[in-house]
Amino acid sequence: MAEEKILTKHPLGRSGKNISKQKYETLKKTILSALKNTQLTHTQLFNELNKSLRNRFSGNISWYGETVKLDLEARKMIERTSSKPEKYRLKSNAIIMKTEGTHYGVTQIAQLFPSLKRIKDKSLREKVASVWNEAITTGCGGKGWTFDELRAVKFTLLAGDIEMTFVEHLNSCARQCVAIADVLEKSFRCGIPIQRDYLIAGSLLADVGKPLEYDKDASGKVVQGKFGQQLRHPFSGVALAHKHGIPGEVLHIIATHSHEGDKVERSIESIIFHHADFVDFDIAKVLGKRAATK
């Protein structure tokens, strides 16, 4: 899927740059939050950007920072003071209230999880995207995740070092679920009621609590955070999804997909997802063990 781009503006009307919308949103959020309640010189602002985004951003932070800073000046969200040395400050609190939060919609979330587009019900598709938006922007101990960071998270902290990421695992499960549904519908000649929208939504949301469960330590390593020690992702995932109006059939998949659901009679969709999930997980454990003995 083509990456969504944005053409930046320039305060003097010069031509802007066509850059990744995700990178733009990351820099915009970081610049606005650095200038919240303070004024910074150019050097101070860029020191803050480098401090906040080091190891969390792929690309030249200074180049993207300058491009987005000029854009925010052109959009009158930040301005330069007339003091010496010149400083940057937010233009007005009213504007910041409206623009401070990053929001990822269906288009951006589908860049991470293309199967999102296979959910036929538009309202459910949008709700799944809004759950992911909240998980991404509020996870990592409240710091939020950039897309680059999330894409770099390993599949599981429990399976050793293998070449599979968390995002790839979710995509694998969503595709497996659809493939399993295709086979079962042909095999169960008595008829098998599979609610595909719920199956796909459940497969994409089963691990949505993990961005809340995971945090980064001082060295930038992904670890189980304090919240993750208190609540595993099936619980936090249900809480988050419920907030966004996700239907009970899908909450059931999130709640029961892992061993927490072993004492529950799983729905057909939950059985399918549970097995797809463990196909990946059990194979990852085998591969992790083999990699450790090499």
Q: Which residues bind Fe ion (CB under 5 A)?
A: 207, 258
133 in Cβ contact with 104 (< 8 Å): yes
Rounded to the nearest 10 degrees, how much is the dihedral formed by the CA atoms of 209, 272, 256, 137? 10
Give whichever of 68 and 204 is closer to Fe ion, judged by the CB atom.
Answer: 204
User: Where does residue 53 rank: exposed (0-12), middle (13-18), buried (19+ CB within 10 A)?
Assistant: buried
Distance (Å, rounded) from C-alpha 123 to C-alpha 288?
39
Nearer to Fe ion, 20 or 258 (CB): 258
**Neighbouring residues of 203: CB distance < 8 A, sequence distance ≥ 6:** 115, 170, 173, 174, 177, 253, 273, 276
In angstroms, give the least distance from the CB of 72 to Fe ion. Answer: 38
Q: How far is the CB of 90 from Fe ion (least distance, A)?
A: 40
What whole-number distance in Å separates Cα of residue 110 and Cα of residue 190?
A: 35
Q: Which is nearer to Fe ion, 149 or 207 (CB)?
A: 207
Residue 88 three-state SS: strand
Q: Which is nearer to Fe ion, 137 or 256 (CB)?
A: 256
- Minimum CB separation from Fe ion for residue 260, in Å? 9
Do β-strands 222-224 and 78-80 pair in parallel, antiparallel, or remain unpaired?
unpaired
Quick one: three-class SS letters along 251-282?
Answer: HHHHHHCCHHHCCCCCCHHHHHHHHHHHHHHH
Q: Report the nearest approach of Fe ion to the CB of residue 289 (Å).
A: 20
Minimal distance, residue 210 CB to Fe ion, in Å: 7
Of 206, 189, 188, the closest CA to residue 270 belongs to 206
What b/e sequence results for 207-234 when a residue is b if at least 16 CB atoms lie within 10 Å of its CB, and e otherwise? bbbbbbbbbbeeeeebeebebbeeebbb
- The least distance separating Fe ion from the CB of residue 257, rounded to whole angstroms, comes to 6
Computed on alpha carbons and rounded to an integer, the radius of gyration of the chain in Å comes to: 22
Cβ closest to Fe ion, residue 90 vs residue 177: 177
Closest residue to Fe ion in the complex (CB): 207
CB-nearer residue toward Fe ion: 72 or 112: 112
Tell me the closest approach of the beta carbon of residue 252 to Fe ion, in angstroms.
14
CB of 256 to Fe ion, least distance (A): 11
The nearer residue to Fe ion, 8 or 258, going by C-beta atoms, is 258
114: nearest Cα among 235, 1, 21, 247: 1
Nearer to Fe ion, 192 or 283 (CB): 283
